[in-house]
């Protein structure tokens, strides 16, 4: 049997999202989260927020996922990271987050933070693998079910 992680890693690329990509960001977002961000949030970040950047991971030219980050002074804050369901389990999230960590460091960030659902064991495992440490709890952070968020951080 062919390892799925091998079959998809041949033609991976990354690129910054533009205003023209908002529809695709929303598509990935709505397929990934129970309470997706609205189109206006992406538009405002990309068009008006000089601290925000969004990067796509593309597989054979298909936008398989994205990661958003705000870099303020020397701290990068991951706003969202999402991989389309049909592309999951192939280490694309890891590749995407590593790329965003590298880009953030190049932009002058010394640390990176994020929030993750307490119940999201797969994401927490990935973040720990990449050196993120637990930093605290945000009680009732997620609006859809009032789930707590674990705050994690890493030195870049």
**Residue 116, domain member (yes or no):** no
When divided into structural domains, the chain yields a total of: 1
129 in any annotated domain: no
Task: Give the integer Cα–Cα distance in Å for 81 and 100.
Answer: 10
CA atoms within 13 A on the CB side of 14: 17
Q: Which residues are catalytic?
A: 115, 127
Phi, psi of 31 (to 5 degrees): -85, -5
In three-state secondary structure terms, 146 is coil
Query: What's the pTM?
Result: 0.89
Per-residue confidence (pLDDT) for residue 9, from 0 to 100: 54
DSSP 79-142: EEEEE-GGGTTSSHHHHHHHHHHHHHHHTT-SEEEEEEETT-HHHHHHHHHTT-EEEEEETT--
Per-residue pLDDT of the chain in tens (156 residues, 90 and over written 9) = 334 444 445 699 999 999 999 999 999 999 999 889 999 999 999 999 999 999 999 999 999 999 999 999 999 999 999 999 999 999 999 999 999 999 999 999 999 999 999 999 999 999 999 999 999 999 999 888 999 999 999 999
Judge whether 102 lies within some domain: yes
Q: Is residue 119 part of a domain?
A: no
CATH number of residue 72's parent domain: 3.40.630.30
Q: What is the pLDDT of residue 1?
A: 34
Determine, yes or no, domain membership for 49.
yes
pLDDT at residue 10 in the model: 66
SS3 state of residue 69: strand
Any domain includes 85:
yes
Q: Which two tokens stand for residue 21?
A: 């990509």
Domain holding 23, by residue range, is 4-110
Q: Is residue 147 part of a domain?
A: no
């Amino acid at each position: 049997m062919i390892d799925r992680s091998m079959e998809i890693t041949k033609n991976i690329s990354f690129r910054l999202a533009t205003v023209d990509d908002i529809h695709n960001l929303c598509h990935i977002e709505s397929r990934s989260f129970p309470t997706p961000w609205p189109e206006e949030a992406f538009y405002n970040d990309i068009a008006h927020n000089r601290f925000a950047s969004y990067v796509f991971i593309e597989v054979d030219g298909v936008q398989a996922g994205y990661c958003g980050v705000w870099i303020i002074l020397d701290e990068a804050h991951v706003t969202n990271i999402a991989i389309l369901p049909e592309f999951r389990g192939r280490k694309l999230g890891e590749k995407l987050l590593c790329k965003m960590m590298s880009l953030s460091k190049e932009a002058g960030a010394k640390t990176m933070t994020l929030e993750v659902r307490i119940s999201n064991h797969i994401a927490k495992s990935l973040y720990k693998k990449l050196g993120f440490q637990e930093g605290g709890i945000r009680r009732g952070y997620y609006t859809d079910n009032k789930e707590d968020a674990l705050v994690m951080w890493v030195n870049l």
